[in-house]
Chain A
Amino acid sequence: MWIEPTAFTPEPGVLLGLRLRVGQDFLGDPLVRDVKLIDRFVVSGKDGVKNVLGREHADPAGLLRPSDPGLLIVGYQSTPSPVVLPPAKFQQYLTDEGLEPIAALRASRGQTDAEAREVFTRCAKTLVLLGPAAATQKDQVLHFILELTAEQNPYVMHAGETLPFRLTYQEKPLAGALVVAINQREPSVKVSARTDRDGRVHLALGKPGAWLIKAVHMIPAPAGSASDWASFWASLTFELPSAPSRASR
């Protein structure tokens, strides 16, 4: 799940829709605003962190009318949702998301052919730029359970450059996690790497346009839980300029 703003670089004062999308390969369907699913839906900018407002059961789930230039960090963290997956689908998704240790754990428990009871939490962010880009504009940590943070402002980068990202779980670096980058116009070409011991990953983003960076972390569900597994889905979206804004770099 990711956040897809109606514009990544809107004009100041224009109503900005913050659309929640769910799907595969950056090909998503709208999710309507559902207060039961929202743990935090916030925007962080010059004025600090504020709640994102919206109309219940509407798409876009959030609406903003930003006016001040700068980098806005919008974040959505869901409440946990349970789901039961058939064994083959669960196994495939473990493979797709680089969760081999969980597959191995299931195998050691003799659960490979059993359906999986999972509780999942979404942790999505998007970066929206108003006005000119500057290297001093930084992505911010929103203290999500699983969180992807851009360590350089993507709006001062350009296609073909390597961008650093950091993945944290419970605000500590998460090592060994698969981080995948997908360009919206060419979703079949994926760029991926595993995080180092500091939770860092460097991804060479070759194309301009909208990018989705994503990672999934899974742990055995706490004892006494109705689920077997707890998963956390982090995403970060932004638009990579086709030409660098050299004047401001």
Chain B
Amino acid sequence: MACAVIVLVAAAGTGAGAHEIGTTRVVTRFPADGTYRIDVVTDATALLARLEVADGIPRSGSTDPHVIQELVGRHESALRQKLTIVFDGVRVEPAIGVAVVPPSEVNGVPGATLTLTGRRPAEARTFTWAYALTGAAYGLSVMPGDDGAAVTQWLDGDQQSTPVPIATAVPAPGRLRLAARYTALGFTHILPGGLDHVLFVIGIFLLSRRLRPILLQVSAFTIAHSITLGLGMYGLISLPSSIVEPMIALSIAFVAIENIVVREVRPSRIALVFAFGLLHGLGFAGALKDLGLPRSEFLTALLAFNVGVELGQLTVIAAAWALVGYAFGERVWYRRRIVIPASVGIACLGLVWTLQRLHLV
């Protein structure tokens, strides 16, 4: 989920206010290869003047990009003193690249980009930054990893940033590992995480112990929730969870009640399960959005999550068949002693959840 945290920080004692935004921008990246790259884009003449003052020499006042680039290079030790790059409380020294570009027609001031690179310590979890070469407020944007959204702090002058977590910037897993991870997430979303989905699947199972009706219902449910899960994840459809979640609970009660009043799987039952499957898919999409999907492997993760959900549902049906269907399915009391009491229980639970999710109880 894209999220930008804006932190306005109090100003330094020069009278520079937190709201007086300068032209300096700092963008920090932590690629999966264990390195870091910090780009500082700033006014070249101001940068040079501050470095000259730091080294105690008269200000040259140069505005020639080539001259500035050369002069900035001569003040590398002063530049290093004014930069603070810290990982987990340990300061590191970057390799420094300087590029000065000519002024634009209007601006009249050349721009400088400092590129600070290096290898971050193994297992580094936080990054802290300070830049004592500007007196104005500026934005520090930190990209936690290849897929992470930027986190921006507004810093004033030499103010030190708060530690920014970079723990998510772990090396990107391979496609197979990622698929396995999201399959597991899909599975655990059903077992043990999704009691409501489990009861819905048991409700499907209870109406008929024959394989074909069960497969028909499961297939309808699977196709339906795959459709809405996919459409929901691509942002093509959405319904607020305040609507989806109570309706999922109601669908559980509905299927269970039908088990009590109907004895056979009819086409209308398949259609009903399909319709409810559409609802459950929206619920899965909400859960998957909360988990987050890597942008680079969006489809892989989406399909893997769906496969995991399917495996979870099939496990529930297999377990239900093994526990009661296989042993008691042929008994004359199976419906009276198993199907109806279990359906009544599921229906009651579904109705209670419905009321709870509507905040009525």
CB pair B107–A59 under 8 Å, yes or no, is yes
CB pair A30–B18 under 8 Å, yes or no, is no
Say which one of B6-14, B272-280, B284-292, B309-317 lies at the interface with A.
B6-14
CB pair B20–A27 under 8 Å, yes or no, is no
Residues of A within 8 A of B (CB): 1, 6, 15, 17, 19, 22-25, 27-32, 34, 36-37, 58-60, 63, 81-86, 89-90, 92-93, 97, 120, 184-187, 216, 231, 233
CB pair A15–B43 under 8 Å, yes or no, is no
Given A27-B46, A31-B21, decide whether A15 and B16 contact each other with a Cβ distance below 8 A.
Answer: no
CB pair A29–B14 under 8 Å, yes or no, is no
**Within residues 50 to 91 of chain B, which ones have a CB less than 8 A from any CB in chain A?**
50, 53, 58-59, 61
In the complex, A58→B109 CA distance in Å? 12
Q: Is B148 an interface residue (CB 8 A)?
A: no
Q: Is B134 an interface residue (CB 8 A)?
A: yes
CB pair A81–B13 under 8 Å, yes or no, is no
CB pair A187–B135 under 8 Å, yes or no, is no
In the complex, A90→B10 CA distance in Å? 12
Given A24-B135, A27-B49, decide whether A89 and B22 contact each other with a Cβ distance below 8 A.
Answer: no
CB distance from B111 to the nearest CB of A (A): 10
CB pair B16–A85 under 8 Å, yes or no, is no
Which of A30, A32, A216 is the one whose CB lies under 8 Å from B15? A216
Q: Which chain A residue lies CB-closest to B17?
A: A81
Given A17-B108, A60-B107, A93-B15, decide whether A29 and B10 contact each other with a Cβ distance below 8 A.
Answer: no
CB pair B22–A37 under 8 Å, yes or no, is no
In the complex, A185→B136 CA distance in Å? 21
- Chain B residues lying within 8 Å of A93, measured Cβ to Cβ, are 13-15
Q: Is B337 an interface residue (CB 8 A)?
A: no
In the complex, A77→B346 CA distance in Å? 70
- Chain B residues lying within 8 Å of A59, measured Cβ to Cβ, are 23, 43, 107, 109
Can you spell out 7 A-B residue pairs with CB atoms less than 8 angstroms apart? Answer: A15-B106, A24-B135, A29-B46, A31-B22, A81-B18, A92-B13, A233-B15
In the complex, A100→B230 CA distance in Å? 68
CB distance from B46 to the nearest CB of A (A): 5
CB pair B17–A83 under 8 Å, yes or no, is yes
Q: Is B336 an interface residue (CB 8 A)?
A: no
In the complex, A60→B23 CA distance in Å? 10
CB pair B19–A89 under 8 Å, yes or no, is no
CB pair B135–A37 under 8 Å, yes or no, is no
In the complex, A225→B135 CA distance in Å? 27
- The number of chain B residues touching the other chain, given as a range, is 20 to 34
Which of B12, B15, B22 is the one whose CB lies under 8 Å from A120? B15
CB pair A60–B136 under 8 Å, yes or no, is no
Which of B14, B106, B108 is the one whose CB lies under 8 Å from A23? B14
Q: Which chain A residue lies CB-closest to B43?
A: A30
- Most chain B CB atoms below 10 A, which of A23, A120, A233: A23
Q: Which chain A residue lies CB-closest to B105?
A: A15
Which of B17, B18, B135 is the one whose CB lies under 8 Å from A29? B135
CB pair A85–B106 under 8 Å, yes or no, is no
Q: Is B306 an interface residue (CB 8 A)?
A: no
Q: Is B24 an interface residue (CB 8 A)?
A: yes
- Most chain A CB atoms below 10 A, which of B13, B22, B107: B13
- Chain B residues lying within 8 Å of A233, measured Cβ to Cβ, are 15
- Chain B residues lying within 8 Å of A24, measured Cβ to Cβ, are 14, 135
CB pair A37–B20 under 8 Å, yes or no, is yes
Per-position contact with A for B10-52: 1 when CB-CB < 8 Å, else 0?
1111111111111110000000000000000011001001100
CB pair A29–B24 under 8 Å, yes or no, is yes
Which of B21, B24, B53, B106 is the one whose CB lies under 8 Å from A63? B106
CB pair B10–A84 under 8 Å, yes or no, is yes
In the complex, A60→B19 CA distance in Å? 17
CB pair B46–A30 under 8 Å, yes or no, is yes
- Chain B residues lying within 8 Å of A34, measured Cβ to Cβ, are 19, 21
In the complex, A34→B136 CA distance in Å? 13
- Chain A residues lying within 8 Å of B46, measured Cβ to Cβ, are 23, 27-30
- Chain B residues lying within 8 Å of A216, measured Cβ to Cβ, are 15
In the complex, A41→B46 CA distance in Å? 23
In the complex, A52→B20 CA distance in Å? 19
- Chain B residues lying within 8 Å of A84, measured Cβ to Cβ, are 10
The 6 closest A-B pairs by CB, nearest first: A89-B13, A23-B135, A29-B136, A81-B17, A83-B11, A29-B22
In the complex, A15→B50 CA distance in Å? 27
- Chain B residues lying within 8 Å of A231, measured Cβ to Cβ, are 15
CB pair A29–B23 under 8 Å, yes or no, is yes
In the complex, A86→B13 CA distance in Å? 8
Given A29-B134, A85-B10, decide whether A187 and B21 contact each other with a Cβ distance below 8 A.
Answer: no
Not counting A6-B108, A23-B14, A27-B46, a sample of 11 additional A-B residue pairs whose C-beta atoms are within 8 angstroms of each other reads A22-B16, A23-B46, A28-B46, A29-B46, A30-B43, A32-B23, A60-B108, A83-B11, A89-B13, A185-B61, A187-B59
